Structure 1
Amino acid sequence: MARSVYLTGLEPGGGKSAVALGVAELLSRRVERIGAFRPLARLTPDPIMELLHRRYGMTLPLPELTGSDYATAQQLIGDGRTDELVSRIVDRFRQVERECDVVVVVGTDYGRDTGDPQQERGVPGEFALNLRLAAEFGAVTLPVVDGHERGGEEIAAAMRSAYRALADRGAVLVGVLANRADPAVRERALAAAESLPVPAYVVPEEPAVAAPTVGEVMAVLDAEPVLGVDQVARTRDVLNVVVGGATLPTFLDYITDGSLVVTPGDRSDLVVASFAAHAAGHVSLAGLVLTLGLPLDPRVERLVTASEPVLPVLSVARESYDTVTALAGLTGRISPDNPRKVDAALGVFEAAVDTAQLAEQLDVARSHRVTPMMFEYTLVERARAHRRRVVLPEGTEERILRAAEILQRRGICELTLLGPGDEIARRGRELGLDLADVEVADPADSPWRDEFAAEYGKLRADRGVTEEAAYDRMGDVNYFGTMMVHTGRADAMVSGCVHPTADTIRPAFEIIRTKPWVSVASSVFFMCLADQVLVYGDCAVVQDPDPEQLADIALSSAQTAEQFGVTPRVAMLSYSTGGSGSGADVDKVAEATALVRRRRPELPVEGPIQYDAAVDPAVAATKLPQSEVAGNATVLIFPDLNTGNNTYKAVQRSAGAVAVGPVLQGLRRPVNDLSRGATVADIVSTVAITAIQAAAQE
């Protein structure tokens, strides 16, 4: 089994940071403790180490993830003390390795243009140093070739050369990867590299990954903010730079999505035109840089400030030529402070790399436990494998739009947003989001509305719903979205970001309804604790279930746990363990437990049982020493909604647990409800869960 994988280039560039992120994400689905290491680092802190350290919850301090700085390495090698340098680096690596199940090593940079001559130089014999370190670490190697501005045959030749250079020197290769390739030549490069004895991967260039952000432009230019430069604006991608020197009609021909307009501050015509083009949806600009230190005319400033959406505007003292020169060659960094860029990098990596094959090549044994991080990333992996269409009724809400971009970039599912198309497009431009492949439908003028109204009228005819009332009801986004699921135009629905729970689940109960063998629809929360994932049910829907309903909740919850990789060991909770207590509430739980055992004899279930006896092995050894569930329960079923809702919130707040849900179960088609306080990450996880439910039901 590989304990570490060494990512190395053979030349400057190539985007090892993005590859390191992709490999780390892959490994995080298989092991509990992932580590990262950088033999030589130029910056403190090193950006890729900072990202991996924060994203994967590494416990070692960030400085300990680096072997040496370049200045020290240059001095030691120059003094003929290479062995001493290697010894130092290996010692630091071993400290990381001892704390981790697997380590991702990001090799050296071979010198790069940092703007500082002292920092640009690499160390002598960097290729040999990387090879030696990989051998000393006992690491398998994944060479990374720069595919930028190379043709298909040229990329394949570089991959073959990389393989031969490493294999001839005894390196153990798990594949060869070309990064930042032109999408138009990717297939040709793969075909030409088929003769390699190890897997070949070609990752296309993604402009959103390499593009600098408005915030990075500000830093390079030492620019002053003028208008609209909030934290969101700083993350906008700058895909190209347009110098505003031409006449207005010609200028409009050159601006495209993601353009950063550089123009003197006194060119009021170009400033107004930029804002107008952006607001009208002609293009989605990144922003403007006003040169020569010239302020906006106050009358122009009042006009553009009233425009929606407002563009970020910066000011610099230098002239336009110097400004553009300073921006030449500027590329963006993948950082923990820019999750959009992280998701873009992961999306392109996962779409281009056969991650199952690469995981097999790495031969990393999968952990038997399911940690919160593994659970979260497995959701993405499984949803991507069986892409389903999920409708999001709250299509104009900012959190939904941000989640939609992530879901699209990661390829988690197909999406339909509900709401006025022009408003959704405007909000997307305002937030600088790429929503090009997201379907939009407006219930107010949709051609499906008449059909949906007729179908809803049939379903609710026994309740006296008239044709006019049914048509009005289909103007509601939650009813419209539910009808999309019912008629097969979507596989599932997620709502509740700005709607109460009742507004989300009522249409599901009226239209989709429960499965024939389930007496009641219910819900679970996936409680992501520090070292495990538990399933809590029911904490959101059924107020006071009778014994049969409680048994249904337990069986549905066990099935949901199985769907998401949690081995079900069911605890039917009560204030009594075994026969220690009595009363109607205990009797209800005992009867429900007996029903579960009759309906699924092979399912491990215990009840009545107290919470501490269910999850604490020491308590279980005293109270129920012979039980296979006590002390090891993974699915905890509460006797009523009051107990369940209070318990999940208490655990969430006091133990710092992440509560994913509620996840509805028992319906014929998946519909899930969001908390109105849901974060973007919560929405992404819930949509992934819902897409997996849809695939499992089919």
Structure 2
Amino acid sequence: MARGLYVSASTSHSGKSLVTLGLADLLHRHADRIGFFRPIVEGQDAAGDPVVALIQELFGLPARHARAGMTRAEARELIVGGRVEEIYSRSVAAYDEIARDVDVVIVEGTDLTGHDFAVEFDLNARLANNLGCHVVAVVNAADKTVDEAVDAVDVARKAFYEGKVSLLSMIVNRADPDDAELIRSQVRPGLHHRKVYVLPEIPEIVRPTVGEVTSALGARMLAGLPELDRDVQHVIVAAMNVGYLLERYRDGAFVITPADRSDVMVTAVATSRTPGFPSTCGMLLTGPRPVEDSVLPLLAEAPFPVFAVPEDTYTAAHRVWEVSGALKAGQPRKTAAALGTWYREIDEAELLERISLPAPATMTPLRFLHQLIERARADRQRIVLPEGEDLRVLRAAEIIRRRDICDVVLLGKAADVRDLAAGHGIDLAGIEVIDPARSELLDPFAAEYARLRAHKGVTADAARERMLDRSYFGTMMVHLGHVDGMVSGAAHTTANTIRPSLEFIKTKPGVGIVSSVFLMLLEDRVLVYGDCAVNPEPDAEQLADIAIASAETARQFGVEPRVAMLSYSTGSSGSGGSVDDVRAATELVRRRAPELPVEGPIQYDAAVDASIGASKLPGSDVAGQATVFVFPDLNTGNNTYKAVQQSAGAVAVGPVLQGLNRAVNDLSRGCTVEDIVNTVAITAIQAQEA
């Protein structure tokens, strides 16, 4: 039977959706299937609840596993009509439908924004009991002193006990960051001396985005760059002259100005395009007057979105100030900040002991990727990204920092990198940016490169020139231990990434070549494909190297290796050319790694289908259950992984480089931001084991 966890607030505006998100991410990694339920929601349409949409999006839950019950208006009508039991019965019926197909259900209670707080608190306690859920209680510490926050925990705990709920955990949220440690040390534990967790206020969540502000106002987009996921860090009502305006300008400014103030519009565009000046996250033009025709072409090129509303400036400004940030679908930066804080402050192992979930039986793509992040975070590494002037890399770096995955170093001209980031609303606070040309490391790096390549006739001047290449500079950072790994290739070829590593990082002892694998995330399992990116026509020795390295990579990422050496024939049915190379490679693997289950030559269908495998190779430990697939050449491997990716809907993570002494990985030039984040996590894990 599914376990149930009920996230219940003790006061309004507790930020309990952060706790819901953290629990969902934790449980998604430790249970086969999770469900999510909100019995009562604030909006006018239960089907469009933003928290349900967020959980569905992040964890790939179908609508039948993540849903809402009724609106607050519907619940109020039932309460006033004396039919409160109908709330419970409808909620239990909906909960049971979800619980029937999952291992654990997270339930998020109401927001306690009603007029009768006591009635609503009691409603949540009764809902938790009727659903058979343990309660995770959230106490709001916003605007409270340390003593007030500590007392609030005692008051809330007493109220939950009086409601006879099964209280699993108490979490203090939205604490002043300067007070969080004091609250943590002074708060009193509950029964069984269970610790109380304290989460600090997260500015990135509290700040609304441009999209949230303009959506709340019903503003019409007029011009500019349609990037709405930018934090509104400051609001400026610009009704003064330009000189005074510039004195008040700060990064992340949301400018509100009458539609006839062309001087303000020109200034905002100019400052955002001028290095060293503060950036603008968005602009709101107010009033019924149209923008002058002569200014419209300039606004069309604005590096920020420009919106318009018919209200006067005073009314519009007050409406803007009333908008607060929230966790919603389509906001990866807020989500990353929330999960980063959760992982820093919550002892997940201790919390899981209380829940005691059964071990999962299958591995889904989403859970695999979430576990990657968890493993990377467990032993913090430092990863360099040489392509610091690529927008995708900057977005990924921000998400990595917010999710607290590892430390990131960007290479590039510092002013250009930060101007590019500011122009697109990307926050690089806490991320180091190094310009190789201006770095104090340049000369010692050049001297080391000249020493290492002296046998190739490399001079000091040539070495210095080579170290100005960011791929070489980043690789030397790895080689000399300034960072633990490198990820490159978003804007360069695989050769650009690998060449410096081959020159001075070198391959591991006993490994003849650098190769690669893709981690293929299917609906219910993870397979390893190699080599699909590096070696065009490997010989038998190289195929054996690839097989052993791929098996090691599989183990590294939790896949029990059973290696299929692929060919167009199975067993002894074929001979000649490449099939003989595969047969020879298989024998080499058996001699070099006798403990490794390996079969070859074998056709793909015999490797993955149990009935075909039993027919073609009866008694084989690999046929029908292979997890690692070694392709005979790059042409076959590259086409196969792309065919499976496109036709079977598999998620392809990689290429993951293997065989090098240190953790260096390549990106596809068509990579997404999420691809970069995942590859950095993989590199951090490889660095942990290097």
| TM-score bin, normalised by smaller chain | over 0.9
1:660-690 deviation per Cα after TM superposition (whole angstroms, max 9, x unaligned): 1110011011111101110111110001101
State yes or no: 1:215 paired with 2:211. yes
Residue in structure 2 matching 1:56, options 45, 54, 59: 59
| Local SS of the residue matching 1:652 | helix
State yes or no: 1:651 paired with 2:644. yes
In the alignment, which residue of structure 2 is the partner of 1:25? 25
Range with bigger deviation, 250-259 or 390-399: 250-259
Check conservation: 2:609, 2:624, Cα contact below 8 A: yes
Matches within 5 A, 1:590-609: 590-609=583-602
- Unaligned stretches of 5+ in structure 1? 113-120
Query: What is the letter of the counterpart of residue 75 of structure 2?
Result: A
Range with bigger deviation, 650-659 or 682-691: 650-659
Check conservation: 1:60, 1:96, Cα contact below 8 A: no
State yes or no: 1:663 paired with 2:659. no
Query: What is the letter of the counterpart of residue 33 of structure 2?
Result: R
Change (3 A) 1:277 1:122: farther
Deviation of 1:229 (Å): 4.3
Residue in structure 1 matching 2:284, options 270, 273, 289: 289
For residues 251 and 272 of structure 1, the distance between their equivalents in structure 2, rounded to whole angstroms, comes to 12
Residue in structure 2 matching 1:256, options 250, 270, 275: 250
Deviation of 1:453 (Å): 1.9
For residues 663 and 19 of structure 2, the distance between their equivalents in structure 1, rounded to whole angstroms, comes to 35
State yes or no: 1:170 paired with 2:164. yes
Check conservation: 1:575, 1:609, Cα contact below 8 A: yes
For residues 59 and 654 of structure 1, the distance between their equivalents in structure 2, rounded to whole angstroms, comes to 21
| Local SS of the residue matching 2:677 | helix
Check conservation: 1:2, 1:362, Cα contact below 8 A: no
1:600-642 deviation per Cα after TM superposition (whole angstroms, max 9, x unaligned): 3332222222211211122223223322322221111122222
| Local SS of the residue matching 1:378 | helix
In the alignment, which residue of structure 2 is the partner of 1:680? 673
Check conservation: 2:304, 2:424, Cα contact below 8 A: no
Query: What is the letter of the counterpart of residue 690 of structure 1?
Result: T
- Unaligned stretches of 5+ in structure 2? none
In the alignment, which residue of structure 2 is the partner of 1:118? none
For residues 568 and 184 of structure 1, the distance between their equivalents in structure 2, rounded to whole angstroms, comes to 48
Change (3 A) 1:251 1:584: closer
State yes or no: 1:398 paired with 2:391. yes
In the alignment, which residue of structure 2 is the partner of 1:444? 437
Deviation of 1:185 (Å): 1.1
State yes or no: 1:485 paired with 2:488. no
Change (3 A) 1:489 1:99: same
State yes or no: 1:132 paired with 2:132. no
Residue in structure 2 matching 1:376, options 364, 369, 379: 369
1:463-521 deviation per Cα after TM superposition (whole angstroms, max 9, x unaligned): 22233322222221111111111121121111111111111111111121101221211
Check conservation: 1:36, 1:104, Cα contact below 8 A: yes
CA RMSD of aligned residues (A): 2.3
For residues 354 and 576 of structure 2, the distance between their equivalents in structure 1, rounded to whole angstroms, comes to 58
For residues 261 and 641 of structure 2, the distance between their equivalents in structure 1, rounded to whole angstroms, comes to 59
Matches within 5 A, 1:89-108: 89-108=91-110
In the alignment, which residue of structure 2 is the partner of 1:185? 179
Range with bigger deviation, 619-628 or 639-648: 619-628
| Local SS of the residue matching 1:183 | coil
1:55-112 deviation per Cα after TM superposition (whole angstroms, max 9, x unaligned): 21122348x7222232332233333332232111101111111121221111112236
Check conservation: 2:565, 2:598, Cα contact below 8 A: yes
In the alignment, which residue of structure 2 is the partner of 1:569? 562
Check conservation: 1:266, 1:297, Cα contact below 8 A: yes
1:4-58 deviation per Cα after TM superposition (whole angstroms, max 9, x unaligned): 2110112221112222111111111112322111111232210000111122112
Range with bigger deviation, 335-344 or 488-497: 335-344
In the alignment, which residue of structure 2 is the partner of 1:348? 341
Range with bigger deviation, 162-171 or 548-557: 162-171
Deviation of 1:325 (Å): 1.6
Query: What is the letter of the counterpart of residue 104 of structure 1?
Result: I
In the alignment, which residue of structure 2 is the partner of 1:618? 611
| Local SS of the residue matching 2:37 | strand
Check conservation: 1:390, 1:494, Cα contact below 8 A: yes
In the alignment, which residue of structure 1 is the partner of 2:86? 84
For residues 499 and 418 of structure 2, the distance between their equivalents in structure 1, rounded to whole angstroms, comes to 29
Check conservation: 1:153, 1:188, Cα contact below 8 A: no
Check conservation: 1:395, 1:424, Cα contact below 8 A: yes
Query: What is the letter of the counterpart of residue 165 of structure 1?
Result: A
For residues 283 and 69 of structure 2, the distance between their equivalents in structure 1, rounded to whole angstroms, comes to 41
For residues 696 and 665 of structure 1, the distance between their equivalents in structure 2, rounded to whole angstroms, comes to 13
State TM-score, norm by structure 2. Answer: 0.94
| Local SS of the residue matching 1:578 | coil
Change (3 A) 1:122 1:541: farther
| Local SS of the residue matching 1:425 | helix
Range with bigger deviation, 102-111 or 619-628: 619-628
1:278-337 deviation per Cα after TM superposition (whole angstroms, max 9, x unaligned): 43434333222233344555666666767xx73333333322221122123311232222
Change (3 A) 1:634 1:182: same
State yes or no: 1:109 paired with 2:103. no
Range with bigger deviation, 615-624 or 30-39: 615-624
Equivalenced residues, count: 684
For residues 312 and 402 of structure 2, the distance between their equivalents in structure 1, rounded to whole angstroms, comes to 37
Deviation of 1:460 (Å): 1.9
Change (3 A) 1:257 1:2: farther
Query: What is the letter of the counterpart of residue 68 of structure 1?
Result: M
Range with bigger deviation, 480-489 or 168-177: 168-177
Change (3 A) 1:304 1:648: closer
Check conservation: 1:558, 1:570, Cα contact below 8 A: yes
In the alignment, which residue of structure 2 is the partner of 1:639? 632
Check conservation: 1:107, 1:130, Cα contact below 8 A: yes
In the alignment, which residue of structure 2 is the partner of 1:237? 231
For residues 661 and 594 of structure 2, the distance between their equivalents in structure 1, rounded to whole angstroms, comes to 25
For residues 612 and 52 of structure 2, the distance between their equivalents in structure 1, rounded to whole angstroms, comes to 42
Deviation of 1:536 (Å): 0.7
Query: What is the letter of the counterpart of residue 392 of structure 2?
Result: R
Query: What is the letter of the counterpart of residue 35 of structure 2?
Result: G
1:378-399 deviation per Cα after TM superposition (whole angstroms, max 9, x unaligned): 1111111112111111111111
For residues 301 and 70 of structure 1, the distance between their equivalents in structure 2, rounded to whole angstroms, comes to 44
Deviation of 1:253 (Å): 4.2
In the alignment, which residue of structure 2 is the partner of 1:116? none
Residue in structure 1 matching 2:682, options 664, 689, 692: 689
Range with bigger deviation, 344-353 or 290-299: 290-299
Change (3 A) 1:577 1:210: same
Check conservation: 1:31, 1:374, Cα contact below 8 A: no
Matches within 5 A, 1:520-539: 520-539=513-532
